[in-house]
Amino acid sequence: MEMCGPNIVSTTGDAWRRQRSIVAPLINEKISSATWDETRAQVEMMLNAYTKAGPTGTTSSVLGLKQIAFNVLGAVGYGKPQEWVDVALPATDTRGNDFLDVLRNLADHIVIAAMIPAKVLLSPVMPRFVRDVGTSLIAFPKHADTLVAEERQSRSTSNNLMSTIVKLVDEAKGDSKTYLSKEEISGNLFLFTLAGYDTTANTMGFALVLLAIYPEWQKWLQEEIDQVAQGNHEYSVSYPQLKRTLAFMFETLRVCTPLLHALRESAFADTLVCAQGLSHPIPADTELLLSFTVLHCSPIYWGEDAADFKPDRWLKEDGSRWNEPLTKGTFMPWSFGPRNCPGMKMSQVEFVSAFYTILRHCTIEPVLQDGESLDQARHRLNGILRDSLPLITLQMQRPEEVRLRWTRRG
Ligand code: HEM
């Protein structure tokens, strides 16, 4: 995880504590507000393209959302907004030239980038795309240095993640508690993109397919969205009212958890007591694997309908307050404790903004194959959803087989 510099995932102890205390608080309400606006703008561009596709629909819906997740990070993380472009259109090959291309190339091939040293990736016997990953790996820290230098020179007033890190580090003037080295700036910028991209992108992808499978939940979400949409669409006004959309995110994360488990090591001997009262002695220095997937789907904690997709399980009957899981610590897609996810709120805002905008304007349906009934089409989509693998985060293996029709609402 250090291929672009030391960061808060690759470190432990004092080095982690120092970096975490500097970078985690930067994902604040300013970032949330910018995320809300940028996501809405990106979704509007996507809807313009997909609603024009007509009854044959599009097979790039899941990838379209992935692009939104990346573009939001480009804008909010680095102050580099980009237009949303349909992946179905022929691509221009600029790999290795522009900072965002380098970043996207690494984020899209993170398993290769993380496992194989750049020297090996660049070997002439490697296929072209693998060599591109190697070129990007070498290019990223140089790009990050240039961006930071440009930021220092321009002394901009922007509030993106990169400019805020630079300001903070400069103000620290070498104070060892609040300082990040050049390599740590590059490492953390890269890490935030990596940690925020695939997780949010895949969650939105799964959610979209779930919407196509369960039209009844689209209607349920639209009831609330239509009411909220009568306001001014601002983050501070709209977001807190969209309880059903956030419940929909929680339920998506429960049944399609992007990071399947947490790995921990016991610093000292301890005893774990589980909900059923059973005690498990844990010796010191034991590696522990806590499965989020098992926790999230266990009928012991979620009831007999644990396997069903029911976003309303997260709301009380009057819809006004969160109905937390009955047993504390049974829902943790953003992990828990001091190393939990600092991007939790940002991902929630992005998800809610995306589906607020999508469902305000559109209804999504599966496009039927020859001779297929609607039920069979839903069943087929469910099969695609289940054919997912954890490539660091859980991802669908056949997203291009999801053909959806996007119809503008009257
Ligand atoms: C739905 C979206 C997201 C999910 C499900 C998610 C989940 C997680 C989980 C489970 C961890 C802990 C991993 C572990 O304990 O081994 C984590 C850590 C982290 N996440 Fe997220 N995340 C999401 C979005 C984001 C976003 C948007 C960002 C930032 C832009 C982000 C930044 C990070 C960072 C920097 C860490 C490392 C924290 C540390 O080690 O101190 N995440 N995330």
CA distances from 336 to 162, 207, 262, 280 (A): 26, 23, 9, 20
**pTM of the complete model:** 0.94
Give the C-alpha separation, 206 to 383, whole Å.
12
Mutate to test the pocket of ligand 1, among 73, 199, 291, 332 (most ligand atoms within 8 A of CB): 199
The pLDDT score that the predictor gives to residue 377 is 97
324 band by pLDDT with thresholds 50, 70 and 90: low
Q: How far is the CA of 113 from the centre of ligand 1 (A)?
A: 19
The pLDDT score that the predictor gives to residue 94 is 47
Contacts of 149 (CB under 8 A, 6+ apart): none
User: Which atom of ligand 1 is found nearest the CA of 346?
Assistant: 27
Q: For 211-233, what is the mean pLDDT?
A: 95
- Enter the DSSP assignment of 308: S
Q: Hey, which residues does 262 pair with through a beta bridge?
A: 290
316 band by pLDDT with thresholds 50, 70 and 90: confident
- Break the chain into its structural domains and give their ranges: 13-215+366-408
The pLDDT score that the predictor gives to residue 281 is 94
CATH number corresponding to 13-215+366-408: 1.10.630.10
Structure tokens at 37: 């606006």
Q: pLDDT > 90: what percent of the chain? A: 59
| Per-range mean pLDDT, top range of 133-137, 254-258, 298-302 | 254-258
Backbone angles phi, psi at 407, to 5 degrees: -110, 130
Helix (H) or strand (E) segment spanning residue 13:
helix 13-23
On the CB side of 141, CA atoms within 13 Å amount to 16
Whether residue 274 is annotated as binding a ligand: the answer is no
CA distances from 246 to 107, 126, 381 (A): 26, 44, 23
Ranges 54-68, 94-108, 187-201, 304-318: which has the least confidence: 94-108
Q: Which residues, judged by CB distance below 6 Å to any ligand atom, belong to the binding site of ligand 1?
A: 8-9, 20, 27, 191-192, 195-196, 199-200, 203, 258-259, 262, 333-335, 339, 341-343, 346-347
Q: For 328-341, what is the mean pLDDT?
A: 88
Q: What is the pLDDT of residues 23-68, one digit of tens each?
A: 898 899 999 999 999 999 999 999 999 999 989 999 999 999 999 9
Q: For 150-171, what is the mean pLDDT?
A: 83
Ranges 2-11, 32-41, 82-91, 354-363: which has the least confidence: 82-91
The pLDDT score that the predictor gives to residue 96 is 46
Q: What is the pLDDT of residues 191-217, one digit of tens each?
A: 888 899 999 999 999 999 999 999 999
